[in-house]
Chain A
Amino acid sequence: MNTINDQVRRHPFFAGFPEELFQGLRLCANHVTYADGETIYRQGDHAEVFFLVQTGRIALELQAGHQGTVIIQTISAGQMLGWSWLFAPFRRQFDARAVTAVTALALQAECLRHQCDLNHHLGHELYRRFSNAVVASLQAARLQLLDLYGREPFSAHRGARRR
């Protein structure tokens, strides 16, 4: 059987996830696809889902005003996108855009959050996975934002955009 639940369970994000917890887990998931170049969400959007990417690649972008668009991170197949739903006010912090065709599983956050509140064991397992992703993107963002006041801010990104 290749139900949506099976696909979620097989996704690397859930690797090592205790089977008994998964059995009790009510998933509110559906398939989504995005075309090359399509916006998945924008900064300020209400964050109600997170994505388990199955194929393709997604860019997390920051619109840096006169400095153009800065890709701060990319998310590829096997990775998770979007953790703004974890904390109030549940708003996206960056733009996410498909840089190739993307297929992903979209999981309704509110439904999961509620179950985590009721079952802390489940919450711990899920939050541990999200923390990993959060720390990774934080480290990346720090490195990229180092030169905000420098002589050539974002020069590495801008080189390719000049015309």
Chain B
Amino acid sequence: MKAFCMHPAVLSQIMDILHSRGYTIIGPKVRSSAVVLDELVSSNQLPLGWRDHQAPGVYTAGKTSNTGFFQTTCGPRSWKWYLYPPRARLFKVRPENGGPRLDRAAQPAVSYAFLGMRACDLKAMEILDGVLSRQVFQDPDYQAVRRKLFIVAANCLQPGQTCFCAVMDAGPRARSGFDLVLNEICEPGRNDFIVEVGSRRGMELLSAVNCPPAASEDVDRVRRMADEAAAIMRRNVQLTANGSLFEARFEHPHWNSLEQRCMACGNCTLVCPTCFCHTIEDGGSLIEHTAERWRQWDSCFNLAFSYIHGGSVRSSIASRYRQWLCHKLSTWQEQFDISGCVGCGRCRTWCPAGIDLIEEFQMLIGHNPQNRYPVFSPESKEPSLQENER
């Protein structure tokens, strides 16, 4: 992969070119004391010097003396907000000659340029492609946005506190799926991007600005930093999910503990970059004499999500949490030949109860430091409640 050295000032030139080509640039921006994704009109809006701290149920961010643009990790909003918007009108129906006539919004899909997309989120997009774009039925709206997308990714050279992308084989270094990827070197006396090229479009854009080839020691250095970040994540988190693991633990008593802790707020599904479940709302408008169909994000934590005549299939919160975790780490693999989790850590950070998927997973497989729950193997009888109390 070709690598170049880019001065931070060149970033605004790149943004100008993208704007001039009709792209709407989405990237990190400070809003309500958090670094979130939003539309960027200028590089001044990038969170220069901002750092964040994340832990289960904890997020703080603030400006530091740091001189980097991309020194925060994932915020609450993921790129699916733009790829697969939370609420979208699918069509309108209006009466015409005594019959219904279907009107589809004719405006073309937005051309987005994603700036500062992380490796985990690139992997998440690959996963969404598998769900929405490679099955028998496909989502044409998603495909239209996806086709026009330009991606300037940013590698993570330091892991966030809730990150585990390396464990899910999704990061911290982006390997494909981008046009350009930035490696930000920011230290006293030096501010540079080592830019790697991932596509012809990326090369073409980069040749329009002034970027000399990168020194090989700089390329080696950012590689090494990414490797170290990966090693830190692998040390902190052990997660080896596979289907049979959950098969055997479907009746594990630990699930019941979620009934008390989880509020079924659905935050984890909203911040998750791969959760794709949605509902369809049909309704009418009294003013326009039209009917409309909307698609809206839904969450498997909602009681109504599994409602059929007679009641909801998953009426307990514990069963809804189990559905979510098993889908992410196990059944997704069977459905789409890929794990549904990229290790971005958003669900850990944004759970208001601080429920941590890593901890829950370890409880379930028996790697529990307090050993409150006995290890359960398929051969042994399920432990009784009495045994747990001992």
Contact = CB atoms under 8 A, between A and B. Distances in A.
Contact of B315 (A38, A152, A153, A161): A161
Interface string A120-163: 00000000000000000000000000000000111000100111
The main secondary structure of chain B at its interface with chain A is mixed
Given A66-B308, A163-B303, A39 B385 contact: yes
B306 interface: yes
Contacts, number: 33
A37 B317 CA distance: 18
Contact of B384 (A39, A66, A67, A152): A39
B306 A66 contact: yes
Contact of A68 (B309, B315, B389): B315
Given A161-B315, A163-B303, A66 B310 contact: yes
A65 interface: yes
A35 interface: yes
Given A68-B315, A161-B315, A163-B303, A38 B310 contact: no
A65 B310 CA distance: 11
A38 B385 contact: yes
Contact of A66 (B313, B385, B386): B313
Contact of B386 (A38, A65, A67, A161): A38
B257 to A, nearest CB: 14
B83 to A, nearest CB: 32
B303 A37 contact: no
Most buried by B among A39, A65, A68, A154: A68
A66 B303 contact: no
Contacts of B303: 162-163
Q: Which 8 A-B pairs have the closest CB atoms?
A: A66-B313, A153-B310, A67-B311, A68-B315, A38-B385, A67-B310, A158-B311, A66-B311
10 contacts: A38-B385, A38-B386, A65-B313, A66-B310, A66-B313, A66-B315, A153-B309, A153-B310, A154-B311, A163-B317
Interface of B: 303, 306, 308-313, 315, 317, 384-386, 389
